[in-house]
């Protein structure tokens, strides 16, 4: 029984004359007794008897409204409480409960007016202050909401109100104040899950993953049936570097949510290989729980423990046994395998397949067929980079000619011929290869034909239909375009995971909680430019992150754009417009964007800063940019390799790339040259050419970037780096709480030159 009912039982109705008030008061006292005892039907019946004697009995109407609210009958509650407020206009509790009913019905403005009226009547009504704060928060009026919460707290400490205020301080990127709120809440209610959850989130925002862990553990214990709490615990474990424990937890949650799958995809990269289930890793690669390229190294480590794979690496492959290795087949189909031992073993297996195909046409078992098809798909996505033994190239050309003649004559074609040819060069290069599509093949072979014949044909058609937005006559632009027409990069198969949908403002506020972020234009429907979109991974991933966005994705290479357009259609994604353009010419179009991404493209200009300026001309005030530049410090090994390649006069051809790779593979593994074999870009022709033979590479330093940011009135929001790197930086430079002091970062990079091996990748705001 709350205070409004106690007051009603003392005061009586006071709404009629004669004997009616006495009868009404007796019946209402019975209603209160039943309500206190939990006899709700009896309480309602007594209230109706009251109303039979005194139709406008405010307390009875109020109690009926409260009961209806508790039972979820919000329309009836609103009706009873509206009448109660008419009868008792000075009852703060009746007005407050009417506000609750309006809230439940989604009548936000009505509810806010009721809460304001309640605190006018009774300034010490804590519930009304708190609920008004909630409504204001939902409307995005954070300071007004905080003021309501603070008025509630001035009346009495309340852990729920403190948590609400803490959430606002987090949203306002004031994590220190949020931590004070949650700490006070926990002092009042040590077992409150909401307070522990908020404190965990706050400590992660403060870059203290180890301190966040006990709070995440407590929430998971307090809410054992809540999968989301355990997912957040697993994520905190990852941030703190406890990969094995995070993996075990994620495995138990895989059936519950996509976030658990994404945690699994990160956790496997931190866990010992013997702890990683091969079947689940195979699913992660095939279903895109993480980017397959990022899962490849742990997959290699897991596979090397499997007996059939050890036989393959030892030179005695069993195609049937290998075909039953699901993880191996999914990896072969999805991404280049970044391991020289594997590459050599697979090339040796290909040699055996070619010999068999030239010798006879024996039928294949289903398992052997699965392996050979996966092998053909691997060689295609690596652009046939692996060296062939002497004489095999000529034999493969002869086999392709035999296959072409059989197609022209409409003769029977053994599956072995098709697969052996597909392991040495794209089937599309064989005359009459389109006729392969009209024949009946096993499903696995159909996938090879789709990849090597049907999809490239579709890309050519799509590329020819794309529009050109700018001039393309600059000599360097023409040279860069030619490289990517010959070798589109990267030739990806499966996209990364679909991250939770958001908008740029919310994304940046969450990603950089301590940055000096101004309001971001565009809201939930921003206009986004991807400058240098390549084969489409970035525009697709950004569109999935910001589903309301309208995206323009440009590139110099029609071959890359055709690939991107095909993958976008394949994934059912809309509102991405692809076009050929030179980013230096974009200002002439007069278009403005809310977000611009130029990651990995500007450093291929003779003057990257001129490209940055051109893109700034296309950015709205308050707009944000994602940028990526090569680091002078982090690219030292690449510079050394390019010098060695230039000394030997190697050309940027397929044979030149292979010769450069042999030079690197034969070098001491710990040397500047030898370390490049660890790069994932070393394992496909297009990526290796991009790494070692690009027609233009310009590297920057952090002082140069800092100077440009200052000269152009930009605000650095933060770097895109792993949590472990950020934690190390925070420990080294605790005074830089926002982690945006580029002088400090320059000192950090000097001490840790490999920090930005994957580029300086960062966000700025205009």
Read off the pLDDT of residues 626-641 as tens digits, 9 standing for 90 and up.
999 999 999 999 999 9
- At which of 462, 482, 512 does a domain end? 462
Is position 233 within any domain?
A: no
Q: Do both 664 and 724 map to the same domain?
A: no
Predicted local distance difference test score (pLDDT) of residue 173: 76
More confident residue, 184 or 26: 184
Q: Do both 760 and 648 map to the same domain?
A: no
pLDDT for 7 beyond 70: no
- At which of 203, 227, 259 does a domain end? 203
Predicted local distance difference test score (pLDDT) of residue 256: 57
Q: Do both 49 and 139 map to the same domain?
A: yes
Average pLDDT, the chain: 92
Distances (CA, A) of 708 to 515, 603, 606: 19, 15, 16
Cβ-Cβ contacts under 8 Å for 352 (sequence gap 6 or more):
317
**Token pair belonging to 166:** 């803490």
Q: Do both 130 and 53 map to the same domain?
A: yes
- At which of 427, 462, 497 does a domain end? 462
Looking at the chain, the whole-number percentage of residues with pLDDT higher than 90 is 81
Interval 58-78: pLDDT, tens? 999 999 999 999 999 999 999
How many whole angstroms separate alpha carbon 204 and alpha carbon 162? 19
Predicted local distance difference test score (pLDDT) of residue 260: 87
Which pairs with CB-CB distance under 8 Å and at least 24 residues apart come from 476-483? 476/605, 476/606, 476/695, 476/696, 477/556, 477/582, 477/584, 479/695, 479/696, 480/556, 480/604, 480/695, 480/696, 481/556, 481/557, 483/652, 483/689, 483/690, 483/694, 483/695
> Is 115 exposed, middle or buried, given 0-12, 13-18 or 19+ CB atoms closer than 10 A?
buried
pLDDT for 439 beyond 90: yes
Interval 464-520: pLDDT, tens? 999 999 998 889 999 999 999 999 988 899 888 877 889 999 899 888 888 888 999
Is position 143 within any domain?
A: yes
Entry pTM: 0.84
Cβ-Cβ contacts under 8 Å for 501 (sequence gap 6 or more):
544, 545, 546, 547
Q: Are 539 and 564 in contact (CB under 8 A)?
A: yes
Q: Do both 742 and 650 map to the same domain?
A: no
How many whole angstroms separate alpha carbon 391 and alpha carbon 171? 65
Q: Do both 135 and 177 map to the same domain?
A: yes
Is position 323 within any domain?
A: no
pLDDT for 323 beyond 80: yes
Predicted local distance difference test score (pLDDT) of residue 22: 67
Q: Do both 389 and 441 map to the same domain?
A: yes
Q: Do both 739 and 652 map to the same domain?
A: no
**Token pair belonging to 7:** 């007051």
Q: Do both 121 and 172 map to the same domain?
A: yes
Nearest to 742 by CA among 713, 720, 709: 709
Predicted local distance difference test score (pLDDT) of residue 553: 98
Q: Do both 128 and 64 map to the same domain?
A: yes
Is position 34 within any domain?
A: yes
Least confident among 125-139, 251-265, 274-288, 530-544: 251-265
Is position 119 within any domain?
A: yes
The number of folded domains in the chain is 4
Q: How far is CA 664 from the centre of its chain?
A: 34
pLDDT band with cut points at 50, 70 and 90 for residue 175: confident
pLDDT for 650 beyond 60: yes
SS3 550: strand
Domain that holds residue 125: 3-203
Q: What are phi and psi of 490, to 5 degrees?
A: -90, 155
Element spanning 576, H or E: strand 576-580
One DSSP character per residue, 96-107 reads: HHHHHHHHHTT-
Is position 245 within any domain?
A: no
Is position 254 within any domain?
A: no
Cβ-Cβ contacts under 8 Å for 304 (sequence gap 6 or more):
273, 310, 313
Q: Do both 667 and 722 map to the same domain?
A: no
Interval 672-682: pLDDT, tens? 999 999 999 99
Which pairs with CB-CB distance under 8 Å and at least 24 residues apart come from 123-132? 124/155, 125/92, 125/93, 125/96, 126/152, 126/155, 126/156, 126/158, 126/161, 127/96, 128/92, 128/95, 128/96, 128/99, 129/155, 130/158, 130/160, 130/161, 130/164, 131/96, 131/99, 131/100, 131/103
Q: Do both 645 and 714 map to the same domain?
A: no
Predicted local distance difference test score (pLDDT) of residue 521: 94
How many whole angstroms separate alpha carbon 329 and alpha carbon 363? 20
**Token pair belonging to 682:** 């070393």
Is position 248 within any domain?
A: no
pLDDT for 10 beyond 80: no
Q: Are 628 and 598 in contact (CB under 8 A)?
A: yes
Interval 690-737: pLDDT, tens? 999 999 999 999 999 999 999 999 999 999 998 888 888 988 998 998
Tell me the CATH number at 24.
Answer: 1.25.40.10
Q: How far is CA 13 from the centre of its chain?
A: 60
């Amino acid at each position: 029984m709350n205070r409004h009912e106690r007051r009603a039982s003392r005061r009586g109705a006071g709404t009629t004359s004669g004997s009616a008030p006495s009868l009404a008061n007796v019946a209402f006292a019975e209603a209160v007794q039943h309500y206190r005892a939990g006899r709700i039907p009896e309480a309602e019946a007594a209230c109706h008897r009251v109303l039979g004697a005194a139709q406008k009995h405010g307390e009875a109407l109020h109690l009926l409204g409260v009961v209806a609210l508790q039972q979820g009958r919000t329309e009836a509650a609103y009706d009873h409480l509206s009448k109660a407020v008419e009868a008792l206009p000075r009852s703060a509790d009746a007005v407050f409960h009417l506000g609750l009913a309006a809230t439940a019905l989604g009548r936000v403005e009505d509810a806010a007016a009721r809460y304001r009226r309640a605190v006018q009547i009774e300034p010490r009504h804590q519930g009304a202050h708190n609920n008004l704060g909630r409504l204001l928060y939902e409307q995005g009026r954070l300071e007004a909401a905080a003021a309501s919460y603070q008025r509630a707290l001035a009346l009495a400490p309340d852990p729920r109100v403190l948590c609400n205020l803490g959430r606002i301080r987090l949203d306002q990127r004031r994590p220190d104040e949020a931590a004070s709120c949650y700490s006070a809440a926990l002092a009042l209610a040590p077992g409150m899950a909401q307070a522990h959850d908020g404190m965990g989130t706050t400590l992660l925002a403060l870059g203290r993953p180890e301190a966040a862990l006990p709070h995440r553990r407590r929430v998971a214990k307090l809410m054992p049936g809540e999968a989301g709490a355990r997912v957040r615990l697993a994520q905190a474990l990852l941030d703190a570097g406890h990969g094995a424990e995070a993996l075990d937890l994620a495995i138990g949650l895989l059936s519950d949510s996509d976030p658990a799958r994404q945690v699994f995809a990160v956790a496997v990269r931190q866990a010992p290989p013997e702890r990683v289930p091969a079947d689940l890793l195979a699913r992660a690669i095939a279903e895109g729980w993480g980017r397959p390229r990022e899962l490849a190294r742990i997959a290699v480590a897991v596979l090397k423990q499997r007996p059939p794979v050890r036989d393959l690496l030892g030179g005695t492959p069993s195609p049937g046994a290998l075909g039953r290795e699901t993880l191996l087949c999914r990896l072969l189909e999805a991404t280049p395998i970044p391991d020289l031992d594997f590459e050599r073993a697979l090339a040796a297996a290909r040699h055996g397949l070619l010999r068999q195909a030239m010798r006879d046409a024996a039928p294949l078992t289903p398992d052997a067929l699965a392996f050979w098809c996966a092998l053909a798909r691997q060689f295609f996505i690596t652009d046939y980079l692996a060296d062939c033994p002497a004489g095999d190239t000529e034999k493969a050309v002869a086999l392709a000619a035999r296959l072409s003649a059989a197609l022209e004559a409409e003769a029977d074609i053994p599956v072995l011929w098709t697969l052996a040819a597909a392991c040495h060069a794209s089937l599309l290069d064989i005359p009459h290869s389109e006729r392969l599509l009209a024949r009946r093949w096993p499903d696995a072979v159909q996938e090879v034909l789709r990849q090597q014949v049907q999809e490239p044909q579709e890309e050519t058609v799509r590329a020819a239909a794309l529009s050109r937005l700018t001039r393309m006559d600059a000599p360097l632009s023409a040279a860069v375009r030619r490289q990517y027409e010959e070798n589109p990069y990267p030739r990806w198969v499966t996209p990364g995971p679909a991250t939770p949908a958001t908008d740029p403002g919310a994304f940046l506020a969450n990603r950089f909680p301590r940055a000096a972020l101004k309001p971001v234009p565009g809201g939930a429907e921003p206009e986004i430019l991807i400058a240098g979109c390549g084969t489409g991974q970035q525009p697709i991933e950004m569109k999935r992150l910001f589903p309301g966005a309208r995206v323009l994705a440009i590139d110099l290479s029609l071959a890359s754009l055709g690939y991107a357009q095909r993958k976008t259609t394949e994934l059912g994604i809309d509102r991405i417009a692809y076009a050929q353009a030179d980013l230096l010419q974009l200002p002439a179009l007069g278009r403005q964007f809310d977000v611009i991404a130029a990651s990995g493209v500007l450093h291929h200009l003779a003057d990257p800063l001129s490209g940055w300026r051109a893109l700034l001309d296309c950015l709205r005030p308050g707009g944000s940019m994602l940028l990526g530049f090569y680091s002078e410090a982090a690219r030292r090994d690449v510079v050394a390799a390019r010098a060695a390649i230039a000394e030997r006069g190697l050309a940027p051809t397929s044979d030149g790339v292979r010769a450069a790779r042999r030079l690197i593979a034969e070098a001491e593994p710990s040397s500047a040259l030898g370390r490049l074999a660890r790069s994932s870009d070393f394992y496909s022709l297009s990526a290796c050419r991009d790494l070692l033979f690009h027609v233009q590479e310009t590297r920057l330093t952090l002082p140069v970037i800092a100077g440009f940011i200052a000269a152009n009135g930009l605000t650095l929001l933060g770097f895109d780096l792993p949590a472990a790197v950020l934690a190390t930086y925070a420990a080294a430079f605790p005074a830089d709480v926002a982690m945006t002091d580029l002088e400090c970062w320059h000192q950090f990079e000097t001490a840790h030159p490999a920090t930005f091996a994957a580029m300086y990748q960062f966000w700025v705001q205009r």
